[in-house]
Structure 1
Amino acid sequence: MIDEFDVQAQFTRLLSGKLWPEFKKRGYKRYRGNFRYYDAAGWGKIVNVQKSAFSTKDNISFTINMGLYLREAERYLMGRASEDKFLEPDCLVRKRIDSLAGNDLDLWYNLDGQTVWSDVDAVVTQDVYRVVLPYLDGIRSVEDILHQLVQERGPDVFAGIRALFIYGRKAEARQWLADERNSTVYTYRKKQLQELSRELNAME
């Protein structure tokens, strides 16, 4: 029986008993608060349950991050390839649950001594089933991740453009670069984009 006032036990129960089984069925591997899927073709997807740095044993605040990983993009951009050990910061596409849920504010869940456990359990589980799983279930290949990158154009513009280019989506990379150059009024930004253009030309 879970002690309703044992906040850490509630958090562990949520991860291990409610969230993890659904990801395990889909072939994910678990590393602490990370549920990771990696395909030998060089792509992956991950869910990271992130505790706030201000959490204590009696008060836990947490959110849910997602990432889409491309091995060759990481190899080019970072000079390494984490492969089946990648984490959410290694991902080319990174999202937080609030952005998927259409929430303009950061979405954090809270567990403390006054929490009604069943309420938090219901809300988190509903959000994962409603937005997280459908989003990740739709990613089944490198091409799916590149498509998502083109759709979202972020969060790192320069990394995204480079990734598209090295994966052979050169026209889309150049169009994105041109759109960035046309939309900025900042000289330093235009200079950075011009340097990126020269880098892409050198890769031809």
Structure 2
Amino acid sequence: MSKPKTESQLQFDKLVSEVIWPEFKQRGYHRAGNNFRYYDAAGWGKILNIQKSVFGDRNSISFTLNTGLYLPEAERLWMGRTSDERFLEPGCLIRKRIGRLKSSHNQWYELLEPSEFDQVLHSVEQDMSSYVLPYMDRVTGIDDILEQLILEKEPSSALAIETLFVYGRRQEAQTWMEHELANTIYRARRQELLELQNKLNNDLYN
């Protein structure tokens, strides 16, 4: 027989179900546990993951908000498969935690005492309305994700460059790769980029 939930657990469940989830539900997302996922049949998606700290317990819950932007072809290049409408945040090419969206520290919310619930609720509501939702609402298609890659050059990886190429943004991919080759000081990184350059130059994607 399972134990009754603690006050902190009840507060966490309430915050997720009554504060965070309704905003995503009205935008057409689907919920699976603490994952709120939107997948478009055109082949892209976005997700919010509410991650609990492994160092918490029944009475002390720490959690943060993770966002992800998903492209099936990026996952195929990386994992050799696609999850499509079942994708999760770790399988996304672009991943940003709430602290990153705020350009601040690695932020975690702390539910330690019942008296703190209103304060945490207010903080989450503010961050949702000011950072999370505006960021995710701006993404309405594949081109928005590709443009973010081009603008931010993150993640700074061969996978991101190759993804741009596969999705038809070939000149931008070549320019990014040449910049990385000119600036990297790491031998392994340079070798990885040279191997990718060979693939792109030989157009092995047709």
TM-score > 0.5 by shorter chain: yes
Structure 1 residue 71: deviation in Å? 1.4
Structure 1 residue 115: deviation in Å? 4.3
Structure 1 residue 8: deviation in Å? 0.3
* Identity, % of aligned positions: 49
Residue 174 to residue 115, structure 1, CA distance change in 2 (3 Å): farther
- Higher mean C-alpha displacement, 113-122 vs 77-86: 113-122
Tell me the distance in 2 between the aligned counterparts of 1:86 and 1:156. 22
Match of 1:155 in 2: 155
Structure 1 residue 116: deviation in Å? 1.6
Contact 2:77 2:159 in 1 (8 A): no
Match of 1:63 in 2: 64
TM-score, structure 1 normalization = 0.93
Tell me the distance in 1 between the aligned counterparts of 2:33 and 2:203. 39
Tell me the distance in 1 between the aligned counterparts of 2:80 and 2:117. 44
**Are 1:130 and 2:99 matched, yes or no?**
no
Tell me the distance in 2 between the aligned counterparts of 1:90 and 1:186. 26
Contact 2:158 2:192 in 1 (8 A): no
Match of 1:183 in 2: 183
Large movers: runs of 4+ above 4 Å: none
Structure 1 residue 7: deviation in Å? 0.2
Match of 2:47 in 1: 46
Partner secondary structure for residue 38 of structure 1: strand
Count of aligned pairs:
199
Amino acid at match of 1:35: F
Contact 2:7 2:114 in 1 (8 A): no
Tell me the distance in 2 between the aligned counterparts of 1:183 and 1:66. 29
Q: Deviations over 1:136-172 (max 9, x none)?
A: 0000000001011112222251110010010010110
Q: Deviations over 1:35-93 (max 9, x none)?
A: 10000000000000100111110000011000000112212332111011100011011
Amino acid at match of 1:20: W
CA RMSD between the two structures: 1.3
Structure 1 residue 99: deviation in Å? 1.0
Match of 2:33 in 1: 32
Q: Deviations over 1:78-126 (max 9, x none)?
A: 21110111000110111011111110x2100000135421110000111
1:86-105 correspondence runs (5 A)? 86-103=87-104, 105=105
Tell me the distance in 1 between the aligned counterparts of 2:197 and 2:88. 29
- Higher mean C-alpha displacement, 189-198 vs 85-94: 189-198
Tell me the distance in 2 between the aligned counterparts of 1:184 and 1:87. 31
Amino acid at match of 1:42: G
Tell me the distance in 1 between the aligned counterparts of 2:111 and 2:144. 35
| Structure 1 spans left out of the alignment, 5+ residues | none
Partner secondary structure for residue 95 of structure 1: strand
Amino acid at match of 1:16: S
Tell me the distance in 2 between the aligned counterparts of 1:168 and 1:44. 18
Amino acid at match of 2:84: E
